[in-house]
Amino acid sequence: MAYVSSEARQELLDTIAEATDEMGAAIAALGGAYELMDDASADRMEEQLFRPTQAAYGRAKRTYSGFAERFGLVTREFEAAGEGLPSTGAQGFLEEAVEAVASADTILAELQDSMRPVEVGDAELRAGLAEVRELLGDLRARARELVRTLGR
């Protein structure tokens, strides 16, 4: 294993935080959509989108804090994102959530592709990132299906 500086580890941690923030924004947008949906659509959205996104968010936060703890890195708290204005509409909130999830997934994919998680030699970090990406995996398709059937 090559020597990895604490600055490189901190950069990696900051990248995980950026993806985690995106997931937090997705959760807030899903909360906004939930408030504007009929009960049946809201229940479907909660099951198909909110729970997996929240699980990914929780796993990302655990991955973040575990990695920071193992290497004595500086951490920060994750602030809850505001859900936005009701005039956005349920469909608008769902689109915002999908964009945020896609952004988080792209950030994590680029991080994994960079091989930085391998270079730090931390199997727990790699497993955590893989699990988060798996949880986010098909959320875009699920959201499109939900938007397609809204109000039916």
Token digits of residue 20: 């985690």
In a domain, 1, yes or no: no
Owner of token pair 């960079």: 114
Q: Taking 80 as the threshold, does the pLDDT of residue 4 lie above it? A: no
In a domain, 95, yes or no: yes
Q: What is the pTM of this model?
A: 0.92
In a domain, 143, yes or no: yes
Report the pLDDT value the prediction gives residue 17, as an integer from 0 to 100. 98
Distance spanning both ends of the chain, measured CA to CA: 56
Contact indicator for 30, 53 with CB cutoff of 8 Å: yes
pLDDT classification of 3: cutoffs 50, 70, 90: low
Contact indicator for 32, 88 with CB cutoff of 8 Å: yes
Contact indicator for 101, 139 with CB cutoff of 8 Å: yes
Number of domains in the chain: 1
CATH code for the domain in which residue 54 is found: 1.20.1260
In a domain, 79, yes or no: no
Report the pLDDT value the prediction gives residue 1, as an integer from 0 to 100. 45
In a domain, 77, yes or no: no
In a domain, 134, yes or no: yes
Contact indicator for 111, 16 with CB cutoff of 8 Å: yes
Alpha carbon 36 to its chain centroid, in Å, reads: 22
Token digits of residue 96: 């915002």
pLDDT digits (tens, 9 = 90+) for 64-106: 999 999 999 999 999 888 777 778 888 899 999 999 999 999 9
* Residues 20-34, mean pLDDT to the nearest whole number: 96
